[in-house]
A and B are shown apart, each in its own frame.
Chain A
Amino acid sequence: MVKLDEIQKRLLREVADLHEVPEGAYNIRSNSRSVGRQSSAHIEIASKTDVSGIDIRIAPGTRNESVHIPVVLTESGLKETVYNDFYVGEDSDVLIVAGCGIDNCGNQDSQHDGIHTFHVGRNARVRYVEKHYGSGEGKGKRILNPGTRVFMEEGSTMEMEMVQIRGVDDTDRTTTAELAAGARLVVRERLMTHGQQHALSTYVVELNGEGSSADIVSRSVARDHSFQKFDAKIVGNAPSQGHTECDSIIMDEGRILAVPGLEANHVDSALVHEAAIGKIAGEQLIKLMTLGLTEAEAEEQIINGFLQ
């Protein structure tokens, strides 16, 4: 594997909790090229030939294995679109850790658009963790526009954890999913924006099979002058259950637009949405202050807990 510098190592720790080379299959991409790759007995990673990106094939019945595919960008002005396709075999149970860290200390924008497509086989279970992180003092923006497409076969489960807490200036995230009978999709999104950041997050989930279900929960904090839009739509085309929730704390001059959408095309589709936006309750601050915290410390505790 190519030797990584300290900034690249720090980004890897932030986005993938990686301190060393990961166990199992991995592909580490740095500044638009693969700097380390390993397939395992059951998980094969191969470069695409037509566009930039990789195919990850997970053999049927693969259990308790993981795939790490972190991306780091440290060259200012780099813009890339990468296509990663996952083929998750039947009855497998795997952890996939993606994530992108950008350090931009230059004056040109750096941008990574990761387009991930998941084909989740029958009765397979996937845990997917994606963290986004930005750092660097430059004026150039750090931009991440992830696109995620999920095709879920019968009885499959996908749990997605998407986290973006710091440093990404612009994000336009689109996630679409199609669920066959008995498939289950769980999404937990945690987002904090600050400064002048913009973050858009759009979901369209189609519950096509009987007994399919989706649970999409976003917790977010908008600070300073940042803007967030959470647009989650669940379409029930069969007897199914769907739930979306957007729970947001607004601070300073932040702005949040929540657009929950439900479309029921079947009489036995039960869909629920919840959305709440508000500032930190004064009584929460006061309670923590009576325990000896300053107002700023109390605020930090409340936000940390909320985004836990």
Chain B
Amino acid sequence: MLELKNVSFQVSSEGTDREIVRNISLTIPQNKLVVVTGPNGGGKSTLAKLIAGIEKPTEGRIFFGGEDITDLSVTDRARKGIAFAFQQPVRFKGIRVLDLIRIAAGSHLSVADACVYLSSVGLCARDYVDREVNASLSGGELKRIEIATVLARKAKLSVFDEPEAGIDLWSFRNLIEVFRELRESIQDSSILIISHQERILNIADEIIVLKNGEVASRGRQGEIYPSLMGDASAGALCECEGWTRALGKEEE
């Protein structure tokens, strides 16, 4: 489905070059839910942006369904079937939730159909459909709407950048059901989630651990997950305190 070949991404700041993503090669197979995890600053979000076309690799090629999409714009990639949920959703003055979902669906959805997407992310649809996607919405509400827009796209590849960020734990437990359902109806599509969340790692088919811009390890959920949870390797990987906390210490 999606293949990255020797992809690197470099930025220059104050005269020095820094490599955020280093020579990554990986595949997101059809009908799989893949979770990319790893310490903060490891290049995860950049990887997601490279796939969506928001950033362009400084080296390497990206293939989608066998086609080289490296030079395609964000729009073209979206039209080929890549959807992207922002870690920090964008606000718009005057654009309603309904408008955004209709744009995402690419058709003039009925209000009832648009509400289905809102309900599935745990929002009482009637209360939200006419609201503006502006600063009057809380971070958690915006985040759910963001996820609803991606659901409405019915994309071949859906990329979620830290869907748990900005959502309280209680809401997140409900949201995990959204991803479970997505996983169940994955036929002919793929899902890529950037996450630190144990519950999301739990529903992955495959896990990729990114560290310092490189793939530190990857494999089936059953292989990688226990090693992440194991103290020794987790300690080695989890140099970031926040990551350790998110991985291991979630309150039940």
Contacts and interface: CB of A to CB of B under 8 A. Distances in A.
B95 A295 contact: no
B104 interface: yes
A258 interface: no
Contact of B103 (A291, A306, A307): A291
Interface in A261-289: 281, 283-284, 286-289
Interface string B75-106: 10011001110100110111110011001101
A4 to B, nearest CB: 34
Contacts of A292: 75, 78-79, 103-104, 106, 153
A287 B78 contact: no
Contacts of B106: 291-292
Interface in B160-179: none
Contacts of B75: 289, 292-295
A301 B84 CA distance: 19
B200 interface: no
B112 to A, nearest CB: 21
Interface residues of B, number: 25
Contacts of A302: 92, 95
A290 interface: yes
B223 to A, nearest CB: 32
Contact of A284 (B82, B92, B104, B153): B92
Contact of B90 (A247, A287, A301, A308): A287
B83 A290 contact: yes
Contacts of A283: 86, 90
Contacts of B125: none
B94 A308 contact: yes
A138 B153 CA distance: 45
B52 interface: yes
A247 B92 CA distance: 13
Contacts, number: 61
A308 B153 CA distance: 25
Given A301-B103, A305-B99, A289 B74 contact: yes
B78 A291 contact: yes
B119 interface: no
Chain B CB within 10 Å, residue with most, of A292, A301, A307: A292
B70 interface: no
Given A247-B93, A281-B90, A289 B83 contact: no
Nearest to B73: A289
Contacts of A305: 92-96, 99
Contacts of A219: 93-94
Nearest to B88: A283
B90 A284 contact: yes
A181 B158 CA distance: 58
B240 interface: no
B45 interface: no
A292 B154 CA distance: 12
Contact of A301 (B82, B83, B86, B95): B95
Contacts of B149: 291
B54 interface: yes
A280 B97 CA distance: 19
B93 A289 contact: no
Contacts of B74: 286, 289-290
Contacts of B84: 290
15 contacts: A286-B54, A286-B74, A286-B90, A287-B86, A287-B89, A289-B74, A289-B75, A289-B78, A290-B83, A291-B78, A291-B106, A292-B106, A295-B75, A301-B103, A305-B96
Given A247-B93, A284-B92, A289-B75, 9 more contacts: A219-B94, A283-B86, A290-B83, A290-B86, A291-B149, A292-B103, A292-B104, A305-B99, A307-B94
A-B residue pairs, 4 tightest by C-beta: A305-B94, A305-B95, A289-B74, A292-B78
